Structure formats: structure tokens, C-alpha cells
């Protein structure tokens, strides 16, 4: 057998193992997400997860250190999906409409019961506030900063420092999500926070009475 053939076969074997490994990891995350989203972190066991994923516990430990590590991967996947949907809104032709609709979609995406249980009920207890804050910043505040910059570049947003502004607006949106989730009447609560979100953003508009020329940029 030539050296070239050996290399080709070795490469094919490595590629096949990589594909199988990726499929196993995806199956574990999918199973864990389903269980974490319905049963919750505490009441979901690793045995439940590997059974639903149809893999061995050894396969789970090959990809993840344990249940909390797997939960972190699920949480990040959930937030990435929410972010992807919001970014689609942030890219609408009208920058101000894009900003408003994107912010409201962030709230709406967290009305999903599975997203609420994973991202709002369990994430802070399992991963800690700093990890959750970092993920929310990466998938929430960073794209929001881009939408704010786009509005500012079009002359629609006051010249405010964007990094702290994006973090503060994202904090308000996160609290809005909790407010709606905890409300006795979620529909009424959603209407309340929707109006407040639009009002909050309008206060940042260039034509708002509070606008001030020469504010610092960021």
C-alpha cells in the first residue's frame, strides 16, 4: 500500500470520527435542551439525557465534564438562537424600526416556556451571574450595540457612548423579560413593557427634547 493511500485512508477515518463526534455532541445538547426546557436542571439526570440521546454515559463525559458543563452548552445555544433572530430584525432597512423591533423580539423570544426555564430560571443558579452576564453581553448587548451604532450613523440616535448604553438597554430588556414571565397577566405585562421599550428608545432619539449636541461617543 502506498504512503499516499495510507494518508488518504487515515484522513477519511479522522473525518468520519469528527462527524460522528459532532453528531453525538449535537444529540446530547438536543436531548439536554429538551429535558432542561421541560423538567428543569435539578430534576434532569444524566441518565435521562443519555437515554434520550441514545448514547452512553461515557460518550457524554467525552464531550462534557458533567451536567453543568452540558447545561452551559445548552444555554449558549439558546441565547445564540435568540440572538440570530433578533439580528435579523436589527438589519431591517429602517434603522430605527429595526432597533425597536429587535428589542421587542428579544422580549418575545423569552416568552417561550423552555427559553424561560433555561435562560431565566436555571442559568443564574447553575452557571453564576458572571457567566450569564458574559453570554448575554456577547449575544445580546454586542449586536444591540451594532443596531444602536447604525441608528446613530443615520443621524437618528443622540451621540451617546454606545458600549455602556447597549449594556444598560440590555439590562432593561432582561428585566422586562422577568417582569412578563412573573406576571399574573403576561399579555397585559407584555403590552406594558412594549410601550416602555419604545418610550425608552425614543428618549435616545436625536429629535427628543433631551438631546444634547457634543455628548461623548463610544
* CA–CA distance, 111 with 125 (Å, rounded to integer): 20
What integer pLDDT is reported at residue 20 of this predicted model?
A: 85
pLDDT, position 218: 47
Residue 38 and residue 103 in one domain:
no
Q: How many domains does the chain have?
A: 2
Task: Dump pLDDT digits (tens) for 23-78.
Answer: 999 999 999 999 999 999 999 999 999 999 999 999 999 999 999 999 999 999 99
CATH of the domain at 38: 1.10.10.60
Regarding whether 98 and 183 lie in a shared domain, the answer is yes
Say if residue 116 is in the same domain as residue 216.
Answer: yes
* Rounded Cα gap, residues 71 and 36, in angstroms: 8
Burial 167-198 (b: 16+ CB within 10 A, else e): bebbebbbebbebbbeeeeeeebbeebbeebe
pTM: 0.84
Residue 173, domain extent:
66-218
Please tell me whether residues 71 and 58 are part of one structural domain. Answer: no
What digits encode the pLDDT tens for the residues 138-173?
A: 999 999 999 999 999 999 999 999 999 999 999 999
Q: Do 48 and 99 share a domain, yes or no?
A: no
Last residue of a domain, one of 11, 35, 64: 64
Which of 23, 49, 64 represents a domain boundary (last residue)? 64
Same domain? 44 vs 110: no
Amino acid at each position: 500500500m502506498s504512503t499516499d493511500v495510507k494518508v488518504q485512508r487515515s484522513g477519511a477515518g479522522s473525518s468520519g470520527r469528527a462527524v460522528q463526534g459532532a453528531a453525538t455532541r449535537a444529540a446530547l445538547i438536543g436531548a439536554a435542551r429538551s429535558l432542561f426546557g421541560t423538567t428543569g436542571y435539578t430534576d434532569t439526570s444524566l441518565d435521562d439525557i443519555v437515554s434520550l440521546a441514545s448514547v452512553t454515559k461515557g460518550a457524554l463525559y467525552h464531550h462534557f465534564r458533567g451536567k453543568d458543563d452540558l447545561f452551559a452548552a445548552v444555554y449558549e445555544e439558546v441565547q445564540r438562537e435568540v440572538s440570530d433572530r433578533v439580528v435579523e430584525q436589527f438589519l431591517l432597512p429602517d434603522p430605527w424600526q429595526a432597533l425597536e423591533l429587535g428589542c421587542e423580539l428579544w422580549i418575545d423570544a423569552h416568552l417561550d416556556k423552555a427559553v424561560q426555564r433555561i435562560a431565566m430560571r436555571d442559568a443564574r443558579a447553575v452557571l453564576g451571574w458572571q457567566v450569564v452576564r458574559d453570554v448575554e453581553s456577547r449575544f445580546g448587548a454586542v449586536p444591540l450595540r451594532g443596531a444602536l451604532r447604525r441608528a446613530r450613523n443615520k443621524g437618528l440616535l443622540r451621540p451617546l457612548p454606545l458600549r455602556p448604553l447597549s449594556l444598560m438597554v440590555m439590562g432593561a430588556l432582561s428585566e422586562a423579560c422577568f417582569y412578563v414571565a412573573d406576571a399574573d397577566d403576561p399579555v397585559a405585562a407584555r403590552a406594558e413593557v412594549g410601550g416602555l421599550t419604545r418610550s425608552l428608545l425614543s428618549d435616545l432619539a436625536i429629535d427628543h427634547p433631551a438631546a444634547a449636541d457634543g455628548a461623548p461617543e463610544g
